[in-house]
Amino acid sequence: MTPERVTPAVPSYASGSSEQPLLGDTIGDNLDRTAAVFGDRDAMVEVSTGRRWSYREFVADVDALALGLLDTGLTKGDRVGIWAPNRSEWTLVQYATAKLGLILVNINPAYRTHELEYVLNQAGVRLLVAATAFKTSDYAGMITEVRPRCQELEQVVLLDSPEWDALATGSASGDRARLAEARASLSPDDPINIQYTSGTTGFPKGATLSHHNILNNGYFVGETCGYTEQDRICIPVPFYHCFGMVMGNLAATSHGSAMIIPAPGFDPELTLAAVAEELCTSLYGVPTMFIAELAVSDFESYDLSSLRTGIMAGSPCPVEVMKQVINRMGMTEVGICYGMTETSPVSTQTRADDSLERRVATVGRVLPHLESKIIDPDTGLTVPRGVPGELCTRGYSVMLGYWEEPEKTAEAIDAARWMHTGDLGVMDDEGYINITGRIKDMVIRGGENIYPREIEEFLYTHPDVLDAQVIGVPDVKYGEELCAWIRMRPGAEPLTAEALRAFADGRLARYKIPRYVRIVEEFPMTVTGKVRKVEMRARSVELLGLTAAEQTRHA
């Protein structure tokens, strides 16, 4: 008898093909190419101040600032810190440093002295550009406090000061040959940016990114959104993070689109107003931003008819929120992006012609010139399609490494240059990926593996739940129990644990129903819109009196 042939399972691997080649430019050269074609079109609009720049004016101000930076004695490879909310000056510094090969160090606007001092020293920042203050943050005061302990920090320039004016305009008529000479030594593979990952434990790590990394990622994100010179991108997400400076700024300038800055910090009303006033065609945000915008009391009074697309990313995107963004905001081509700082950041993205189900239930498929695979975290082997495992990505977008931390780099990027994300995902037969949780977020209750994302999606189906986050908390009997933090819709009665159990009974396995429920006004968040689940867990342990349970040892 002829033995029956068994067809091998299709592996969870996908690569992004494209007829569009990767860009070989530096960021400065790419900006100049754009300005040469679209010089009279809007490049940047700062809604809060009414200031606006055409591409020709934007390049002129970038070059003037670059010449000013040259006058300080900085040379290629030196680090320049930027510590400020979303302002036009932030973007000017981004492009001016890129034109000189200076490495821009993005400093989280939410940092305090301990974190600021660490980043300034770890990156070896020589010049720091900073806002004087913003909201409750006294940047100038904190800089004064830490500066004596930052030996490599030679100069601090505060925005809205004579020193900034001199830096930005003092060399406007300077020797442009010096600028050309500095740019002639640059390579697209040079490091150009250090972004500190918002770690929840220990000190953050500095993901080091090149021109090639972030310019191409911004470009292909923009290509996937269908950007042209006609597009106007509203960017309420922080420039400090890749979402703002790469998916926002670089996606815009590589296509001749306009960067619209609605406000220094996120404000739902000001964001909606900017979209209406500036006729924005695209709007960005993390899920909590879109939730806040949709909850604005006079939401219907804003004319959002110019919107066609946008991006929701930064953390898992609730299905119900995505549906409202499409139906109520008119963003019919809105997409989901998935990625991480270490991958510049986007690895997968939904497409405008994807079905509604694809766009609300997956993070899309791999972008052009990148590879994705799902592996068994224990063996490292690629799993078959439909089987969950750890998502890995490889290609031009993978960072150069963590700044001066080769051991931590080796922990994240393997010998074959695959970036291990730490995220759990499933790849379907068409290559679409669904993120099911974090490896470290997984809750193990009495031997059952529970992924909080699944429970959160269920909670969004409750008519009174505005937002929900689920964490594991210690339990003597089961090892861990589920605790749900819930934000209620305005006017709704607070949801009790008993009411939640009644709602979930028969619809959710009993072991997946949260034992504890906390009703809150807001979640502890990073500046990039990611929920600090480690902090939520610590607070829950204290508030629920679970310290003894936490100290109980389990096999």
Q: Please give the residue that has the higher pLDDT: either 238 or 316.
A: 238
**Buried residues in 218-232 as b, exposed as e (16+ CB within 10 A):** bbbbbbbbbbeeebb
Q: Per-residue confidence at 532, pLDDT binned at 50, 70, 90?
A: confident
**Mean of the pLDDT values across residues 167-176?**
74
β-pair partners for 366:
348
Tell me if residue 413 falls in helix, strand or coil.
strand
Residue 199 has what pLDDT? 46
Q: Are 124 and 155 in contact (CB under 8 A)?
A: no
β-pair partners for 371:
15, 394
Q: Please give the residue that has the higher pLDDT: either 398 or 323.
A: 398
**Mean of the pLDDT values across residues 266-284?**
98
**Mean of the pLDDT values across residues 390-418?**
97
Q: Are 98 and 254 in contact (CB under 8 A)?
A: no
> DSSP label at 200?
S
> What is the token pair recorded at 245?
């400076």
Question: Quick one: which H or E segment has residue 25?
Answer: none
- Range in 74-78, 157-161, 366-370, 534-538 the model is least confident about: 534-538
480-513 residue pLDDT tens: 899 999 999 999 999 999 999 999 988 887 888 9
Among 69, 77, 347, residue whose Cα is nearest residue 187: 77
**Buried residues in 408-436 as b, exposed as e (16+ CB within 10 A):** ebeebbeeeebbbbebbbbbeeebbbbbb
Among 550, 378, 528, residue whose Cα is nearest residue 472: 550
Tell me if residue 454 falls in helix, strand or coil.
helix
Neighbours of 49 (CB within 10 A): 11
Neighbours of 142 (CB within 10 A): 20
| 554/532 Cα distance (integer angstroms) | 25
The pLDDT mean for the chain works out to 92
| 437/126 Cα distance (integer angstroms) | 39
Among 467, 525, 528, 43, residue whose Cα is nearest residue 237: 528
The predicted model scores a pTM of: 0.86
**Domains contained in the chain, CATH given:** 27-427 (3.40.50.12780), 443-550 (3.30.300.30)
Check pLDDT > 50 for residue 553: no
Residue 172 has what pLDDT? 53
Residue 531 has what pLDDT? 85
Q: Per-residue confidence at 527, pLDDT binned at 50, 70, 90?
A: low
β-pair partners for 479:
475
Name the percent of the chain lying above pLDDT 90.
Answer: 77
Residue 554 has what pLDDT? 39
| 317 Cβ contact list (under 8 Å, min separation 6) | 287, 336, 360, 363
Residue 441 has what pLDDT? 81
**Buried residues in 150-169 as b, exposed as e (16+ CB within 10 A):** beebeebbbbeeeebeebbe
Check pLDDT > 50 for residue 555: no
Q: Are 397 and 341 in contact (CB under 8 A)?
A: no
Residue 450 has what pLDDT? 81
Among 185, 262, 215, residue whose Cα is nearest residue 95: 215
**Mean of the pLDDT values across residues 471-479?**
86
| 28/237 Cα distance (integer angstroms) | 23
Among 408, 412, 432, 433, residue whose Cα is nearest residue 422: 412
Amino acid letter at 22?
L
Q: How far is CA 155 from the centre of its chain?
A: 29
| 470/351 Cα distance (integer angstroms) | 29
| 183/100 Cα distance (integer angstroms) | 6
| 350/333 Cα distance (integer angstroms) | 9
Give yes or no for a cis peptide into 238 (omega within 30° of 0): no
| 126/115 Cα distance (integer angstroms) | 17
| 255/39 Cα distance (integer angstroms) | 12
180-234 residue pLDDT tens: 999 999 999 999 999 998 543 457 899 999 999 999 999 999 999 999 999 999 9
**Mean of the pLDDT values across residues 436-461?**
81
Residue 103 has what pLDDT? 98
**Mean of the pLDDT values across residues 284-307?**
95
Among 323, 322, 326, 324, residue whose Cα is nearest residue 337: 322
DSSP letters, 312-351, are E-SS---HHHHHHHHHHH--TT-EEEEE-GGGSSEEEE--
35-55 residue pLDDT tens: 999 999 999 999 999 999 999
| 225/488 Cα distance (integer angstroms) | 33
Check pLDDT > 90 for residue 550: no
> What is the token pair recorded at 348?
């997968």
Q: How far apart are the first and last CA of the chain?
A: 50
Is the CA virtual torsion 128, 131, 137, 139 positive or negative? positive
Tell me if residue 258 falls in helix, strand or coil.
strand
Q: What share of the chain is helix, strand, coil (3-state, %, to 5)?
A: 35, 25, 40
Gyration radius of the chain's alpha carbons: 24
**Mean of the pLDDT values across residues 272-288?**
95
> DSSP label at 127?
E
